[in-house]
Amino acid sequence: MSKKIYLYGNWKMNMTAAETRKFFDEFAGCYEPFKNDSGLEVGVFSPFTSLWALAEGAKKCGVVFGAQNVYYEAKGAFTGEVSIPMLKEIGVDHVIIGHSERRHIFGESDELIAKKVKALLDAGITPVFCYGETLEERESGNTFKVMERQIKSAIAGLTPEEVAKIIYAYEPVWAIGTGKSATSEQAQEVCEWSRKLIGDPKVVILYGGSVKGSNAKELLSMKDIDGALVGGASLKPGSFLEIYSEFKK
Ligand code: PEP
């Protein structure tokens, strides 16, 4: 039996509400051949301001949708933050947490990320938890040490059932938005190691970092890679879905 592929698109700080509507006008047609393919789960993650438009388009097409961040408190004096109940009102059931841009540009700590993961699980929302090493960490031989800290911090104190509900995304920072993907062997090595560290052979682990049609087959065919978290190539329906078409060839 062939494995199920998760194809998740992280739009980052791109796509206004109007652009989101336009994306789904085109996506609906491109997605038609894949609609009934139970081997594929598509998800799209937009900025907060486009979430209502995203919800409308994603529901029509039957794809998963979500936000790229959230705060762990339900309400209160947290200027500029968005809470889980606010996302639930829109119907969001997946949220990206701990993306390297949140960690490295906005200084999010392992502790803060862990609180967000727990709050999402408590609310019945799936965290798409990102982790990965910088180039400096890789070159200094600290790849596994850094990721062990990131993963252990996120799952500390969770029940095995909660750990199983998280979707994990290995995203080497040096491969994000650079056009330079990890090799399939590098990505497989980390995903296999992660699965053992997490301690549940069935967890979903995605690879992210310059995934596109031309490298999709090699990466997604690896045993421990269940799918891709895609940035740049997810902004156009054609290049986004091409990743799955190439994998299936
Ligand atoms: C990402 O934003 O998570 C990502 C992997 O980006 P890109 O595909 O553009 O490298």
How many structural domains does the chain have?
Answer: 1
Residue 71 has pLDDT above 70, yes or no: yes
- Which of the residues 94, 99, 101, 133 is marked catalytic? 99
Q: In which band, very low, low, confident or very high, does the pLDDT at 2 lie, cut at 50, 70 and 90?
A: confident
Q: Which helix (H) or strand (E) holds 65?
A: strand 64-67
Q: Looking at residue 83, which CATH number applies to its domain?
A: 3.20.20.70
Distance 175 CA to ligand 1 centre (A): 8
What three-state secondary structure class fits 202? Answer: coil
The pLDDT confidence band at residue 1, using thresholds 50, 70 and 90, is low
d(CA 247, CA 3): 12
- Joined together, the tokens standing for residue 242 give 């091409």
Q: Cβ neighbours of residue 39 under 8 Å, at least 6 residues apart?
A: 2, 3, 4, 5
Taking the CB of residue 91, how many other CB atoms lie within 10 A of it?
A: 15
- Domain with 111, as residue range(s), is 5-248
Give the residue carrying structure tokens 């053992």: 196
Residue 89 has pLDDT above 70, yes or no: yes
How confident is the model over 48-61, as pLDDT tens digits? 999 999 999 999 99
Mean pLDDT score of the chain, rounded to an integer?
97
Interval between CA 219 and ligand 1 midpoint (Å): 14
pLDDT of 149 strictly over 70: yes
> Is residue 51 a contact partner of residue 90, using CB atoms and an 8 Å limit?
yes
Residue nearest to atom 1 of ligand 1 (CA): 231
Query: Within 10 Å of residue 111's Cβ, how many Cβ atoms?
Result: 10
Report the C-alpha gap between 212 and 143 in whole angstroms.
24
The question of whether 101 is a catalytic residue gets the answer: no
- Band (pLDDT 50/70/90 cuts) for residue 171 is very high
Residue whose CB lies within 8 A of the most ligand 1 atoms, among 211, 215, 236, for a mutation test: 211
CA dist 36 → 5, 13, 189, 198 (Å):
13, 30, 32, 32
Name the active-site residue from 41, 81, 171, 246.
171
pLDDT in tens, 217-228: 999 999 999 999
H-state helical runs in the chain: 17-31, 51-61, 84-90, 100-104, 110-122, 135-139, 143-155, 160-165, 184-198, 213-220, 237-248
Mutate-to-test residue for ligand 1 from 14, 176, 219, highest number of ligand atoms within 8 A of CB:
176
